[in-house]
Copies of this chain bind each other. A is one copy, B any other.
C-alpha cells in the first residue's frame, strides 16, 4: 500500500525540511508583528463556489458528508479568512495583521511543483486602504524569502496594479462588464498563442499589445517601488503589468514571486482585494484588505536548487536534530543508576538517549556519534564516578555522579 497519488509521506528528513520552512515563515511573520490563526480543513462547498464560481468544483476534493452537507477540503484560505473576519472583526484593532500556516488540497493533474496537497503560508492585512500597507506586505514577502538565504539574484517580485488596467480600459471606453474577460486574456499572455490573444482582444489588441511589449507606468507603482527602495529592498522588485493574477477578486496592487532563472512556477502571489470581504459576507462587513500566499512545494524546490540556501537548510536541520547527551551503560549493574540520572537530565530539558537493552560499549559510542551527541556519559567501573567524554574534542574526565548536574549547568551557562 502506498500514499494516494499527489500526497506525500513526510519521513523524518522530509518532515525536518518542512518544519524548517514553517519555522522561517513563523519567525519572519512575527518580526512583522503578524498574529497566527487557522481555520478548519473542511468547509461548506458553497464558501468556495461563492468566491470562485461553480467551476471551482472540478478542482476540489468535495463530497456529501453523513449529515447530507456539501463539504470540501479547503483549496485555499482566503474564503475562510473573509468568513472569520466578517464574524469577528469588531474584536480586533485595525489594521489587523494575521498569518496562517496550513495544508490545502486540489484535485488536479499532477505536475512539477504541484501536488494534490501542499502547505501554504497566508499573510493578510485588513482595514488599511493606504499604499503603506501594500509596501509593508511586499517587504514581508521579500524578507520571508531572504530568511532562507535567497538574495536578489535568486528571486524577483513582479508587481502590477489592476487599477492600471481598469484605468486603461475606462479610457478606451470598454464597458466594465468586459473588463474581467480582457484581464483574463492578459493573464494568459505568453501562455496562449499571439493569434488567439489578438482574436480575443478584438479592437483592443493593438493598444493592449503595445502596453504589454513596452511596459506600463503609473504614479502608484512608482511610489510603491520607492517605498521598497527606501527600505533597501528595491533590487528585489520589478514593475511588470503583464501580471494581473487570474482571480477576479483583486482590486489593486497584485504581485507574483518567481525564481530569477524562471524555471519554476510562482513561489508566492497575492494582492489587494478590497471588495471580497463585503462580497463573501453578503454586504455585512466592508473592509479593505490585501494578502498573499506562499507554498511549500515550489519554495522547497528553489531551496534545493540554490546551493547557499540548501546548505543553510541542511545546517539548520543538523543542528536541530543533534542530541545533547548519550548515556553509555558499560556495566548493566549501573543501568538503574543511569536511568535515574537520565530522568534528571531530561527534566532539565537535555536531549538524552541511551540503549534500551544491553549493548557493547563500542556500539554505544557509535550510536552516540550517529546521533550527533555533544557528550557521552559512561556508567561503569568508575562508579560512583562517571566518565564524561566531549565527543567533539575527545576530551575525557571523571566526575562524581552527584556533581553531574551542577557541572553541566555551569558548562552551559558559559557556552551560551
Contact = CB atoms under 8 A, between A and B. Distances in A.
A12 B33 contact: no
B30 A351 contact: yes
Interface of A: 1-5, 7-12, 15-16, 18-19, 27, 30-33, 35-44, 46-47, 58, 61, 63-67, 69, 71, 73, 80, 83-84, 87-88, 91, 93, 95, 98, 103, 105, 107, 117, 128, 130, 132-133, 136, 139, 143, 227, 230-233, 280, 321, 323, 336, 339-340, 342-343, 346-347, 349-353, 356-357, 367, 370-371, 416
Given A105-B42, A343-B232, A37 B61 contact: no
Given A7-B42, A47-B1, A117-B41, A353 B84 contact: no
Given A1-B83, A33-B352, A40-B117, A130 B357 contact: yes
A154 B141 CA distance: 45
Contacts of A41: 7, 41, 73, 103, 105, 117
A42 B349 contact: no
B4 A136 contact: no
Given A41-B117, A370-B93, A88 B11 contact: yes
A107 B37 contact: no
B10 A336 contact: no
Contact of A340 (B36, B232, B347, B353): B232
Contacts of A132: 356-357
Contacts of A38: 9-10, 15, 18
Contacts of A343: 139, 231-233
19 contacts: A1-B83, A4-B43, A5-B67, A9-B40, A10-B37, A11-B91, A16-B36, A18-B38, A31-B350, A32-B346, A32-B353, A33-B351, A40-B117, A65-B107, A66-B107, A95-B356, A128-B357, A132-B356, A143-B347
Given A12-B36, A33-B323, A133-B356, 13 more contacts: A3-B40, A5-B67, A7-B41, A9-B39, A19-B36, A30-B351, A32-B351, A33-B351, A41-B105, A41-B117, A42-B61, A143-B346, A416-B416
Query: In terms of DSSP, what is the predominant structure of the interface of chain A?
Result: mixed
A335 to B, nearest CB: 9
B73 A73 contact: yes
A69 B4 contact: yes
A40 B340 contact: no
